[in-house]
Amino acid sequence: MNKTRPLRASEALLKFWEVQISKSQHASNYFFRKTPSHYHMMLIVMTAYYKQQNLTVEELKTKLFQTSRPKSSSMINEACKESFFYLVKESRDKRRKYIKPTKRFIKEYVFYLTTLNKVCI
């Protein structure tokens, strides 16, 4: 069995991980890697953002599989507290809140994707 390709892939992923961790000023590197649910939340919110879809907090809670609603609420609140996301109330129904990424987090996410893309090429 040829081990060269898996070795190169492993080395590339290791380098990617080390670059990401070295960017410690990006607190999002740690926050969204706490659990698979944190990472999943990031991907859901950013996918909705790039599709220009309004994602409600309730929709996000429902989409986070294997995460209880109280835990989902806690994760969302923590992400907002850390200024990765923010909530926007709907003008007609004040109970309905949309979750959006902050400009700062969008920049960090783009950096993350760019670095990941370099590893995958």
The 10s digit of each residue's pLDDT in 45-73 is 999 999 999 999 999 999 998 899 999 99
Residue 20 has pLDDT above 80, yes or no: no
pLDDT over 70 percentage in the chain: 93
The pTM is what?
0.83
Length of the chain: 121
The 10s digit of each residue's pLDDT in 77-102 is 999 999 999 999 988 887 899 999 99
Domain that holds residue 35: 26-120
Does 17 fall in a domain?
no
What pLDDT shows up at residue 93? 80
Does 116 fall in a domain?
yes
If one compares 6 and 78, the residue with the highest pLDDT of the two is: 78
The number of distinct structural domains making up the chain is 1
Does 11 fall in a domain?
no
What pLDDT shows up at residue 24? 57
